[in-house]
Amino acid sequence: MKSAPESAPARLRQLVGQGVAVIDTPALVVDLDAMQRNLQRMADYAQAHGMRLRPHAKMHKSANLSLRQMQAGAVGVCVQKTSEAEALAAAGVPDIYISNEVIAPAKLARVATLARTLNAHNGRLAIAVDHLQGVEALAQALGAGENLIDVFVELDVGQRRCGVAEPANVLPLAQAITRHPALRLAGLQAYNGRAQHLRSVAERRTALDEVIARVREARRVVEAAGLALPLVTGAGSGTFGLEATSGVFGELQAGSYLFMDADYARNDTDPDQPAFEHALFVKTQVMSVSTNHVVVDAGHKSHAIESGLPRVHGEALEATSCNDEHTTLRATGGVPLPALGSTLWLIPGHCDPTVNLHDWLVGVRGGLQAGTVTELIRVDARGFLD
């Protein structure tokens, strides 16, 4: 929870219009040309497959980027946190799905306020539940009124994290939702985050077989009781081609495709999914040189490493360790090490928590070598945790 600065610091503002070389290090830089190609590629894919696209904004936490995705056809965005939804709504994003459970009465009161605010502006709020207690607390927070919020029942489809453990147990939650006029039973939340990062296509297909079988079973049980689950929503950047062709999913929630990170790049390519380009980089400088390694001035306070160390863009160098403010690199293939002061570009291991370390993204057009800073993109929900 924080108050985000409304405008960028002067040192960043003065970069706009200047060449890439003047960006001081470390800085989080977006190749806007590559990002735009990724954005359009996913929009085209969703349209071609008759799928709604609701990208996950927990990745970029930016209203600006949410609205660009919606302009290209996305129906809205997902977030994980109430405060993220509040921040994006305040910055003009009209259709937001908190694809996660909220239990605390104090936060549910904020959810209720936000739902009414969005409804009053022709927008919409949705949320997930996985427990009867959560349904009742949500209904109590919303109070009187009809059809105020869309509610998805989350089913555990293999990640063993949140969600109803058994497909048959979706039914009592669906029934509970329909007993409250303020709540609209919107469908099923079915996302397996672990499946996104299985390296082989075969492993991902096997994981998705379980996802799809569990979704079909939940739908069968609910429909047998005379209720409908209008929409099944889920999917990430590693598997969305499997959800899109499953015949049961209606909406894709992928987020990382917009920036692509080193972890997703370690997946084997699925020929049935469009390919995406790296669009997010940490600009760094070599600050120390030794006989067999160099050290750059960006550590894991600049780029998240919980999903693996960063790659070095376009260089025969590999990261061997990373500390708070340093990343150590060695040469691969016997090439000479870069000189003290050299610029290097890291491809972060995981884009979501990397973006969350920064208040502003430095947007570049014309490439990382000769490009120009054209805009600064605010990370509106940076550090919004609650």
Closest CA to 375 of 5, 15, 7, 9: 15
Applying CB under 8 A, does 160 fall inside the site for a second copy?
yes
- Binding of a second copy by 184 (CB under 8 A): no
Between β-strands 183-190 and 231-234, what pairing exists: parallel, antiparallel or unpaired? parallel
User: What track of x and - describes contact with a second copy for positions 61 through 100 (by CB under 8 A)?
Assistant: -------------------xx------------------x
Could you say which DSSP state residue 376 is in? Answer: E
Binding of a second copy at residue 266 (CB under 8 A)? no
Contacts of 295 (CB under 8 A, 6+ apart): 286, 287, 288, 289, 326, 327, 328, 329
Q: Is 386 an interacting residue with respect to a second copy (CB under 8 A)?
A: yes
Could you give the CA distance from residue 4 to residue 88 in angstroms, rounded to a whole number?
Answer: 12
Provide the angle, in degrees to the nearest 10, between the axes of the packed helices 105-120 and 132-142.
60
Selected from 115, 148, 286, 329, the binder of a second copy by CB under 8 A is 286
Q: How many CA atoms lie within 13 A of 292 on its CB side?
A: 1
Nearer to a second copy, 189 or 246 (CB): 189
Q: Which of 126, 360, 363, 373 binds a second copy (CB under 8 A)?
A: 360
Q: Which of 3, 50, 120, 334 binds a second copy (CB under 8 A)?
A: 3
295 binds a second copy (CB under 8 A): yes
Sequence-distant contacts of 66-70: CB under 8 A, at least 24 apart: 66/93, 67/92, 67/93, 68/39, 69/39, 69/43, 69/258, 70/95
Which of residues 176 and 295 has its CB atom nearest to a second copy in the complex?
Answer: 295
CB atoms within 10 A of CB 283: 25
Residues 18-57 that bind a second copy (CB under 8 A): 24-27
Contact flag: residue 293 with a second copy (CB under 8 A) = yes
The region of 36-44, 104-112, 211-219, 220-228 touching a second copy under the rule CB under 8 A is 104-112
How many residues belong to the site for a second copy (CB under 8 A)?
71
Name which of residues 319 to 358 contact a second copy (CB under 8 A). 321-326, 328, 340-341, 352-353, 356-358
| Between 142 and 355, CB nearer to a second copy | 355
Task: Give the residue among 110, 107, 109, 74 at the shortest CA–CA distance from 93.
Answer: 74
